[in-house]
Amino acid sequence: MDKKKKPRSTRSLNWLAGALYVFCLVSISPTKAGSLADTSTLQRNLEVVAKGSDGRVGICAEQIKSGVITCVNGDQRFSLQSVMKLVVAAAVMDAIDRGQMRLEDVVTVRKNDLSLYVQPIADLVAERGEVKTTVADLISGAVIESDSAATDLLFARVGGAEGIRTFLKTKRISGLSVDRDEKHLQTEIVGLIWRPEYVDANVLEKAIKAVPSGRRDASFAAYLKDKRDTATPRGMVSFLSALATGKLLSAKSTAHLLKVMQETVTFPDRLKAGVPEGWTLGHKTGTSLTWRGVTAVTNDVGILTAPDGGTISVAVFVAESRRSSKERAKVIAATAKTITSSYR
C-alpha cells in the first residue's frame, strides 16, 4: 500500500527508447562501465546508514554485471507492501510473452472490481460508472501510481498467488513471495476479512473503526511476523537484476517494464532523493499503515543506472519504525547516496 495519491493519466510508452535503454543495460562493456570497487567500505557505510534508524533495516545492492552483492540484513524477511505490484506486473509481462494476453487487451473496470486505499482508477469509475482500459494501462497504474485496483485486476488475470508462485519458480527466483492481493492483505492487517461492500471507502472506514482494539493489536502483531507477502533484500535485488539483464522476460517486455519503472511518481523523497545528477532510476515504492506509532515497513527498490551505463540493483526496507515518514525516507535516500558515491 502506498498512500500518496497522484492523478491517473493514460500513457503511450516509447518502445524504441525502452529498447535502446535495455540494450545499453545488458550490453555495456565492463571496460567502459565502472563498478562498486571497494565493497568492504560500502558494507561498513551501509551498516552506518542502517544504524541511523530504529527498528529493522534491510539493504542489498548488486553490481549487475559482476553479480557482486553487498547487504545489511540481506537474508531477513521484510513485508513487500506495494513493492509486490512490480512483481505482479512482471508476471503479467511474462504471460504476454507466453501469448496468454496482450498489452492491448481491453479490460472493463466497474465498482465491484475496485480494491482499497490508493486507487486512482476508482475516481474514473465513480464518475463514469465503468471504465474501459487496457492491460498496458493497468500495468502503468500499478507501478507508476501504485493503483491497488489495477494491481488486483492484474493479480487475478495471472492466476492469483499460484500463478505468481509458478512464475517465480520457473524463473528460479527465491527469497520473494506474493501470496495475497491488496484488498485481502490490507483488510487482514486491520483485523477484517475482505467483503465486496468494502469497495465503498466509507463502508470500509466504518468497518475498520468498529474493529475492537485488541483484535487490531493481535492482527497487526501477526502481520509483523507473517512470512507471506515478504522478500529478503537479497531475493529482491536478484529479481531486479534478472529483470534488468533480460532473464525474466523477452527483450520487448523487459524494455516496456523498465520504462514504466522509470516513470514512478510515488515518494520521490526516497531512493530518488539520493540519486545524483546524471544517474537514472527505475523503481517501486511500498508503504504500510501505522498502528500505535509503529510503521510496519517503508520500502523502495529499483535499478540505478550510472552515466557510463553501469547498473546496480538496490532494495531498501525500513521495518517496525517509530520515526516520522521524513526520517524513514532519509534512510532510504542515504542508501542511494552511499551506493552511488562508492561507484567508480
Using the predicted structure, report yes or no on whether residue 20 has a pLDDT greater than 70.
no
In this prediction, residue 32 carries a pLDDT of 75
Q: Among the listed ranges 16-30, 75-89, 215-229, 313-327, which one has the minimum average pLDDT value?
A: 16-30
Residue 286: is its pLDDT beyond 60?
Answer: yes
Helices (H), 84-181: 84-97, 121-128, 135-144, 148-157, 160-170
Q: Tell me what the mean pLDDT of segment 320-324 comes to.
A: 97
The candidate with the shortest Cα–Cα distance to 3, out of 328, 334, 333, is 328
* Res 59 pLDDT > 90: yes
Buried b (16+ CB within 10 A) or exposed e, 57-74: bbbbbbbbbeeebbbbbb
- The pLDDT of residue 1 is 73
pLDDT at position 31, please? Answer: 55
Following DSSP, what letter does each residue of 222-245 receive, concatenated? Answer: HHHH--TTEE-HHHHHHHHHHHHT
The residue among 226, 153, 162 whose CA lies nearest residue 189 is: 226
Residue 109 is placed in which grid cell?
473496470
pLDDT for position 108: 97
Band (28; pLDDT cuts 50, 70, 90)? very low
pLDDT, residue 7, reads 42
The per-residue pLDDT of the chain, averaged, comes to 92
pLDDT category of residue 195 using cuts at 50, 70 and 90: very high
Segment 82-114, tens digit of pLDDT: 999 999 999 999 999 999 999 999 999 999 999
Alpha-carbon distance 342 to 304, whole Å?
A: 13
Q: Say what the pLDDT of residue 14 is.
A: 43
Q: For 292, left (φ over 0), alpha (ψ -120 to 50), or beta?
A: left
Q: What is the percentage of the chain residues whose pLDDT exceeds 90?
A: 88
Query: Is residue 218 scored above 50 in pLDDT?
Result: yes
Beta bridge partners of 299: 286, 317
- Region 305-313: mean pLDDT is 96
Distance in angstroms (rounded) separating the CA atoms of residues 292 and 278: 41
* pLDDT > 70? residue 256: yes
pLDDT of residue 3: 56
pLDDT at 37: 77
Mean pLDDT to the nearest integer, 192-219:
97
Whether the pLDDT of residue 243 is over 80: the answer is yes
Give residue 205's pLDDT. 97
Would you put residue 55 in left (φ > 0), alpha (ψ -120 to 50) or beta?
left
| Nine-digit cell string for 144 | 507508476
CA angle 144, 233, 54 (to 5 degrees): 95
Q: Which domains does the chain show, CATH number per domain?
A: 29-341 (3.40.710.10)
User: Is the per-residue pLDDT at 11 higher than 80?
Assistant: no
